Each structure stands twice: as structure tokens, then as C-alpha cells.
Amino acid sequence: MGNLNKNIENHYLKEALFEDIINRLKEQEIDLNNVTREDISGVDEFHVRGAAVSKELASTIDLKGAHLLDVGCGLGGPCRMLADEYDCHATGIDLSNEFIRTANGLSKLVKLDNKTTFIQGDATNLPFEDQAFDVVWTQHVQMNIPDKKRLYSEINRVLKPEGHFLYYDIFKKGEQEVQYPMPWASHANLSFLFKTEEMDTILIDMGFSKIQSVNQTQPGIDFFDALVKRFQEFGPPKIGLNVLMGETTKPKLMNLVTHFKNGVLALESGVYKK
């Protein structure tokens, strides 16, 4: 597991990421003393549809004042949104040291460091007490984790009774072979896709009740189609997912949208209650 975790961390690694974002803000002549969440929204949510889908997911339950854990938090954009708009205290955990360093820097930059906490750690060995959180959510994370039962049992352990688990994830459909690279994996050795039915079985067996699920595949396709059109008209944005993926942005995103359109992969969001 140690070697796998290191390889996954290396896959996402972008040296001096926080400094790169700062330089891009300067290039846009944004006052660093008055940076807003909107100024960094193009890069701080590393998942399909970005901030829009995080707000959609947040609207599914009452989050006012909740203590929430984001497992696989990336650069912390959802945590900052929840802290700012729902008066949550949001804690994020991610395998990547560089993502956590950047998440802390960005929260300080937009003056939300008093309501967000970011910790480097392993999703299958969460460094938190039992029943510590009202809500746990995860977006585009399980694809890198082979031991699904361990992942969801840890989520179950840290979630309070009557608490909610929210997810937005990429799942496999059918048995067709997946072509790489993808945003979460340069090759198949880093990818552990499974089906929504398998996740549902694991969670139900743990005592969760399924509240809702939403097929998000077509909105994801629409998002990518609009993104390609903007790229063609205006070129890559100053601050976007290209900051994280660099020269590999185009092949990774094109592979992903092709698999959505061909029915090889699916996007889904949903809510479970403990």
C-alpha cells in the first residue's frame, strides 16, 4: 500500500502549486490582499463541473452549522465553499502533501482559514475519532483506492449516528476496457474503478440507507462540450484544471468524455444516511 500511495501522490504532484496559482493571480492583476473564492474557482475544485456540482450536492441536505469531512479534498475548494456559504467547519484530508499545503495557503488567502482545516492522510486510515463528523463527502476519490470496504468502513466509523454520506464519483459501467491516461491515473495500475451497485451493496451492508442517487453523466458531457468550445475560442484559461494537469490536460479530459459518451463510464451523485 505504501508504494501505491506514493505512486498516486506522484501522479497528482505539481511542484510549487500554490506559488504557480499566486503568479497567475498576479498576471491577472488581482489584488492578493483581496482574493475571492471566485478568483480561484477554476482550479480549486478538481472534479467534473467544478464548483457548480459541489453547490448542487450541498443543497441535498441541511448543512447549516455542520462539522463536515471532505475525504480526498484536493485543493480544498468545496471545504471553503461549505464554510463560507453554509457556516460549516469543514475539514479536508488528502494523500497529497502538495495539495494540502496549497489548500491551507488558499484558505488563508481568501480569509477562510479559521473555518477550514486540512490534513495530509490516508482515506483508508482516517486520523479522527469515532463519530467525529455530521457529514462526510467525497468527490472523484474512490477510483484510486483498491480496498473499497476499508474506505467506506472508515467513513462509517467517523460519521455520527443519523449522519449523512454524500458522494459524487466516476463509476464503471459494463465490462469494457478503459483507455488511459485519465485525470486520476496515467495507467491502469493506479485505477480501481467499480460499479455503483457494488458501492451500494457495501454501504447497505454497513447499515446505511440510500436517500437518493442522480445520474450526472449527461451534465458532465455537456460541461466538457462547453469547455472544448471555450478552449477553441479563447484558449486555456489563466486558472483552470490545466494548472494541475499541464500538458496532459487534453488527452486525459478527451479520454474521460469519450468514455462517458460511449457508456463505458458514468458519473453519479447521491446521499446515504447512517
Secondary element (H or E) of residue 136: strand 133-139
pLDDT in tens, 190-209: 999 999 999 999 999 999 99
Helix, strand counts (H, E) of the chain: 11, 7
C-alpha cell read off for 1 = 500500500
Angle at 265 between CA 263 and CA 267, to 5 degrees: 110
Average pLDDT of the chain to the nearest whole number = 92
Mode of pairing for the β-strands spanning 67-71 and 133-139: parallel
Beta carbons within 8 Å of 215's beta carbon, 6+ residues apart: 266, 267, 268
Q: Which one-letter amino acid corresponds to residue 3?
A: N
- Percent of the chain as helix, strand, coil, to the nearest 5: 45, 20, 35
pLDDT at residue 11 above 70? no
Whether the CB-CB separation of 86 and 115 falls below 8 Å is answered with no
Say if residues 205 and 197 touch (Cβ distance below 8 Å).
no
- Average pLDDT, stretch 222-245? 75
Q: Which residue has the higher pLDDT, 15 or 148?
A: 148
Distances, alpha carbon 90 to alpha carbons 61, 138, 178, 205, in Å:
15, 13, 34, 28
The CA distance from 252 to 19, in Å, is 24
Length of the chain: 274
User: With contact defined as beta carbons under 8 Å apart, do 44 and 78 qualify?
Assistant: no
* pLDDT of the residue at 224: 87
Return the DSSP state at 125: S
Q: Is the pLDDT of residue 239 over 80?
A: no
The interaxial angle of helices 2-12 and 97-109, nearest 10 deg, is 50
**HSE-CB of 145 using CA atoms within 13 angstroms:** 25
pLDDT of residue 147: 97
Residue 80 is inside which H or E element, if any?
Answer: helix 77-86
Confidence category of residue 92, pLDDT binned at 50, 70, 90: very high
Flag whether pLDDT at 241 surpasses 80.
Answer: no
For residue 48, CA distances in Å to 72, 219, 223, 224 come to 15, 9, 8, 8
Strands 209-215 and 89-94: unpaired
Average pLDDT of span 16-45 = 92
Whole-model pTM: value is 0.93
- How close are the terminal C-alpha atoms of the chain, in Å? 28
Does residue 146 contact residue 190 with C-beta atoms inside 8 Å? Answer: no
Q: Is the pLDDT of residue 12 over 80?
A: no
Average pLDDT over residues 68-81: 96
Report the pLDDT value the prediction gives residue 42, as an integer from 0 to 100: 85
The x, y and z cell numbers of residue 256, run together, are 474521460
Give pLDDT tens digits for 142-177.
Answer: 999 999 999 999 999 999 999 999 999 999 998 899
Q: Greater confidence, 256 or 239? A: 256
| Opening angle at CA 143, ends 83 and 245, nearest 5 | 75
Contact (CB, 8 A) for 94 and 8: no
In the block, residue with C-alpha cell 474503478: 193
pLDDT of 236 higher than 80: no
Domains of the chain: 2-273 (3.40.50.150)
- Mean pLDDT value of segment 246-271: 90
